[in-house]
Structure 1
Amino acid sequence: MTATSTTPLFSFGIVADPQYADIPARPEMNRFYAESTKKLAAAIDAFNQEDLAFVVTLGDLIDRGWQSFDAILGCYDHLRHRSILLPGNHDFAVEPEHLPKVHDRLGMPARWHDFSLGEFRFIVLDGNDVSTFAPPTGDPRRELATARLEALREAGDLNAQDWNGSFSNEQLSWLRATLAKADAMQEQVVLFCHYPLYPANAHNMWDAPEVLKLLAAHHSVRAWFCGHNHDGNYGVIGNTHFVNVKGMVDTPDQNAFVVADVYPDRIALRGFGRELNRVLMF
């Protein structure tokens, strides 16, 4: 074996759906909201023992209430690595006047953005862009979301749920251009979004078929990491892996998080708690 096959180029941590709120648990739904600060703190302690390039949290930091951000974001003060946050549907379960401030509260440089590490490009997306809950009141994206959801319901689609979302044309155009640039530069692309695309599931983005078609048209795409479906999921299409990380909020005391070791030809996932080990070959 060569040194590159046994030593990762770099590693990163992954968390999905802490969904914190200081409210009573709902065991019938596997929701233990108030325990998430303890579990996230334990995950951060584990991450701090690793040499990581960053830690990404795949949305739903809170379950509801603007004030809930204070406690859960406070956990990241102890993280010694770069933190990358993106919003889930529950992160917009706040008072209407706070809706325009969610991305800033998460410290995002833009609603969608990308960055590179060596020959890998990471793309951070916002699947709440066109939804019935995230755009501020009066924003035309709300009307567009209502039309999209109604069309899916008329078609009887499994993911015709009001707690899912979709991309705007603006975000899709940016994604298309970013993937084309990555192709041209011979980069390997990893995407982060709150919502799944594949396999078929009630939690998938409304525009999953269109996004899958876009990804398939670009040879640089290696993996899509998401949350939202707390049970977790996995599928592969061609050379692209779709990894749905399990929800941290789902148990009273058992954790769920991942460390991803990145190699030139694969990403090896080390699962903690309820999460599984998995190797994503390119």
Structure 2
Amino acid sequence: MDDCCEREPLFTFGVIADIQHADIDDAFNFTQTRRRFYRNSLRLLKEARETWCQLPARPNFILQLGDIIDGFNKRHGASSVALDRVLEEFSLGSMEVHHVWGNHELYNFSRSELLCSRLNSSVLADGRCDGRRAGEDINAYSFTPFPGFTFVVLDAFDVSLLGVEEDSLRYHRALSLIKQHNSNDDLNCPPVQLDNLKQRFTKYNGGFSETQMDWLNDVLSSADKKQEKVSLISHLPVHPRSTVPSCLAWNFDELLSIIQCHSSVVCFIAGHDHDGGYYWDKSIGVHHLTLEAIIETPPGSNAFGTISVYEDRMVLKGNGRIPDIDLVFP
């Protein structure tokens, strides 16, 4: 790394993923292989918020990468209470927060409820000359925090079995798609196939609709012409080398095809895979960063980061489980 640490960044932002807060005792994950620290997640968020607030220059905004509360809240009738607790902690920092929707948001609330909730951050783009939205019922939008830099928040569950009525056309289209690849009675179990990438076809994943991808293509075409640098934000990763197959978006390949057609994209930031991951696609110069999860971070550690943006790179300063990474622009 060069002398960028001695330079003032153009702007900074915070990143945090998979908080999955619930007021319940610690327990193991779906496969009974990893411990989840449900109450501790709120303490770790508080530590992250306090760290961001104590920086010489507060981050311009925070990216909350999805799964803000756990699905267990729904079973206990505590979805709204749990969400209020987490959003209250965020609000104490007085920083703009962009909330990405993950599968646990859709376990707790319907898509229509989320669109009317404080987790619909697309309203932050309303009234901005630099903001563009994908559609009324799609939580995808773009914003420009600094001239020459655009962020695009994507809705990775635009095509999904979650958060929609089971008698809806949207549900049946998603069901038809997943059943082409997954014959298990429990669709939360990945299919056993020779092609490991087919493991992505589970109920806890989703995909991007044609409408959203057409919109994204238009946004990136505009950014190409303006020679902007674009970071894409999603709950689900889209590069097979930045995550495990069971955490990929259903149509990750279509999203990658769009990215490869646009010189403006420099980074793709995601959550969902609790172990995190990173891959630099040198062929097109795009960094794929998957953030480690708060929910599986034990007491005494943490999992959040602060990214400083310069003309030629972004520098991730990680905390706890998240390593420092230098994301050089092509």
Give the percent of matched residue pairs that are identical in Structure 1 and Structure 2: 30
In 1: Cα distance, 2:180 partner to 2:312 partner: 41
Number of residue pairs aligned between Structure 1 and Structure 2: 280
Do the aligned partners of residues 158 and 78 (structure 1) sit closer, same or farther apart at CA in structure 2, a change above 3 Å counting? same
Q: Which amino acid aligns with 2:288?
A: F
Pick aligned residue for 1:150 from 179, 194, 200: 179
Pick aligned residue for 2:323 from 257, 276, 279: 276
Indicate conservation of the 8 Å contact 1:4/1:264, yes or no: no
TM-score (norm 2): 0.80
In 2: Cα distance, 1:137 partner to 1:185 partner: 43
**CA deviation after TM superposition for structure 1 residue 54, in Å:** 0.4
Indicate conservation of the 8 Å contact 2:287/2:327, yes or no: yes
Q: Which residue of 1 aligns with 2:202?
A: 161
Q: Which residue of 2 aligns with 1:235?
A: 279
Instruction: Establish whether residue 218 from structure 1 lines up as the match of residue 265 from structure 2.
Output: no
Which residues of structure 2 form unaligned runs of 5+? 124-132, 134-138, 184-190
Map 1:93-108; keep pairs closer than 5 Å. 93-94=107-108, 98-105=110-117, 106-108=119-121
For residue 43 of structure 1, give the secondary structure of its aligned residue in structure 2. helix
Instruction: Establish whether residue 194 from structure 1 lines up as the match of residue 199 from structure 2.
Output: no
**CA deviation after TM superposition for structure 1 residue 162, in Å:** 1.4
Do the aligned partners of residues 47 and 136 (structure 1) sit closer, same or farther apart at CA in structure 2, a change above 3 Å counting? farther
Instruction: Establish whether residue 30 from structure 1 lines up as the match of residue 35 from structure 2.
Output: yes
In 1: Cα distance, 2:3 partner to 2:70 partner: 46
In 1: Cα distance, 2:227 partner to 2:102 partner: 31
Pick aligned residue for 2:292 from 231, 246, 258: 246
Which residues of structure 1 form unaligned runs of 5+? none
Q: Which residue of 2 aligns with 1:17?
A: 18
- Computed over aligned residues only, the root mean square deviation of the Cα atoms, in angstroms, reads 1.9
Q: Which amino acid aligns with 2:217?
A: R
Do the aligned partners of residues 70 and 180 (structure 1) sit closer, same or farther apart at CA in structure 2, a change above 3 Å counting? same
In 2: Cα distance, 1:133 partner to 1:19 partner: 17
> Deviation string for 1:154-185 (max 9, x for gaps)?
79312122111001111111111111111011
In 2: Cα distance, 1:3 partner to 1:248 partner: 28
In 2: Cα distance, 1:169 partner to 1:134 partner: 19
Q: Which amino acid aligns with 1:100?
A: S
Instruction: Establish whether residue 113 from structure 1 lines up as the match of residue 141 from structure 2.
Output: yes
In 2: Cα distance, 1:217 partner to 1:247 partner: 31
Q: Which residue of 1 aligns with 2:226?
A: 185
For residue 235 of structure 2, give the secondary structure of its aligned residue in structure 1. coil
> Deviation string for 1:119-175 (max 9, x for gaps)?
000001110111111334433221111122122337931212211100111111111
Q: Which amino acid aligns with 2:149?
A: F
Pick aligned residue for 2:70 from 63, 73, 80: 63
Greater shift in the superposed pair: 5-14 or 203-212: 5-14
In 2: Cα distance, 1:79 partner to 1:136 partner: 36
In 2: Cα distance, 1:265 partner to 1:44 partner: 27
Indicate conservation of the 8 Å contact 2:153/2:234, yes or no: yes
Greater shift in the superposed pair: 265-274 or 129-138: 129-138
> Deviation string for 1:186-226 (max 9, x for gaps)?
10000110001112521000000110011010000000000
Q: Which amino acid aligns with 1:15?
A: I
Do the aligned partners of residues 279 and 4 (structure 1) sit closer, same or farther apart at CA in structure 2, a change above 3 Å counting? closer
Indicate conservation of the 8 Å contact 2:297/2:303, yes or no: no
Greater shift in the superposed pair: 234-243 or 66-75: 66-75
> Deviation string for 1:71-121 (max 9, x for gaps)?
1111112012211111100011126xx441113321422611101121000
In 2: Cα distance, 1:7 partner to 1:180 partner: 30
Q: Which amino acid aligns with 1:81?
A: M
Indicate conservation of the 8 Å contact 1:5/1:263, yes or no: no
Indicate conservation of the 8 Å contact 1:30/1:250, yes or no: yes
**CA deviation after TM superposition for structure 1 residue 40, in Å:** 0.6
Indicate conservation of the 8 Å contact 1:19/1:61, yes or no: yes
> Deviation string for 1:28-51 (max 9, x for gaps)?
422111211111111000111232
Indicate conservation of the 8 Å contact 1:19/1:249, yes or no: yes
Greater shift in the superposed pair: 263-272 or 69-78: 69-78
In 1: Cα distance, 2:6 partner to 2:159 partner: 41
